Structure 1
């Protein structure tokens, strides 16, 4: 990925997931993730990630606790998705498809990485 002045190269074309879902999945993978790291992983600007986190907190999907200079995020897995087409589908169900399992985490520890879902 090429960055110009700290801004990740944007993705061209359509995708199946929204940036909100990507950020939420990234936080689910690491509840202590820094905005900078989420932005790089999801190919977004830090400002975009901050706005998405604010949206998710304002609607009750996410909360955070300040620990020193860091944040610890908490996702409410029981929240239902917002679109009527996903009526009844919870955040937990969505994240079950998007979050890395333990085998993938071990591969990461061995130096293999994959981009944000």
Structure 2
């Protein structure tokens, strides 16, 4: 078995995981987002700051709660995805299945 072939890495970065978690539930608390992304709250907060600075999200305060808006028309930051926007990517990854028996997106029954 080659190094790195088992669960020591994920396809998405921490930034990707946090962005998908925000897209799934824009009213989530940082603690909820960090749990879903598998990161510490401190790391998650830093990523949220990065995503906001880059224009991928906006934060809106209502009382003590923060709500996020994802800007789906933003492009990817890597040259190999030049011209592509994040919206369709997030639509696929942020889908929530309604039951355990629902087929996965793109699969045939």
- Please give the TM-score of this superposition, normalised by the length of structure 2: 0.81
Partner of 2:44: 49
Q: 1:69 aligns with which of 57, 64, 67?
A: 64
Aligned residue pair count: 94
Name which structure has the greater RCO, CA cutoff 8 Å, separation 6+: 1
Larger radius of gyration: 2
Query: In structure 2, the residue corresponding to 1:92 is in which secondary structure?
Result: helix
RMSD of Structure 2 on Structure 1 (CA): 1.4
In structure 2, runs of 5+ residues without a counterpart are: 1-6, 101-109
For residues 26-76 of structure 1, what are the alpha-carbon distances to aligned partners after superposition, in whole Å with 9 as ceiling and x for unaligned? Answer: 001101000000111111000000000000000100001001111010011
In structure 1, runs of 5+ residues without a counterpart are: 1-11, 109-117
Whose helix proportion is higher, 1 or 2?
1
